[in-house]
Structures are given as C-alpha cells and as structure tokens.
Amino acid sequence: MDKTDCFAYNQRSCKILTEKKCDGCVFYKTHEEFKLGQKKALERILSLDKDKRDYIIETYYGGKIEVM
C-alpha cells in the first residue's frame, strides 16, 4: 500500500483522519476505488423510490446531487 496513492492523502495530511496514520488504515482506497464507490452509491440512491431518494438527497446532499 502506497499512501500517496490513497484518495484521502493530501501532501502531508489526511482528509479523513485528524491524525495521519497511514499504516494499516481501514479507510485506504485508491482514487479509482473511491470514484467507483461514489458511482455505486449514486446509482443506488437513484434506484430508490422517489420519497426515499428525495429524503436522502435533501438530508445528506443539501438538496443537490451531481449526476455523473
């Protein structure tokens, strides 16, 4: 695992954790894995019925969601 390949690694810090502890980090994902996870989550949200979809988009995305 190369920490510089991690989607959350930003020069000398981590965008996810308050302390940078890369060795054995359970949040480690490559940029490609992160993008794929986002795409799958968006597909799942969009597959829900309208009421559930609207609730999630309003609650967690501030009413706006970017469709790729």
Report pLDDT digits (tens) over 1-46. Answer: 677 789 999 888 898 888 888 888 888 999 999 999 999 999 999 9
The full 3-state SS of the chain, as one line of letters, equals CCHHHECCEECCEECCCCCCCCCCCCCCCEHHHHHHHHHHHHHHHHHCCHHHHHHHHHHHHCCCCCCC
Query: Which of 46, 50, 51 has the alpha carbon at shortest distance from 68?
Result: 46
Confidence (pLDDT) at 53: 94
The confidence score (pLDDT) of residue 1 equals: 63
CA distance 18 to 32: 23
How much is the pTM?
0.73
Domain ranges of the chain: 3-61
Distance CA 50, CA 21 (A): 40
pLDDT at 22: 82
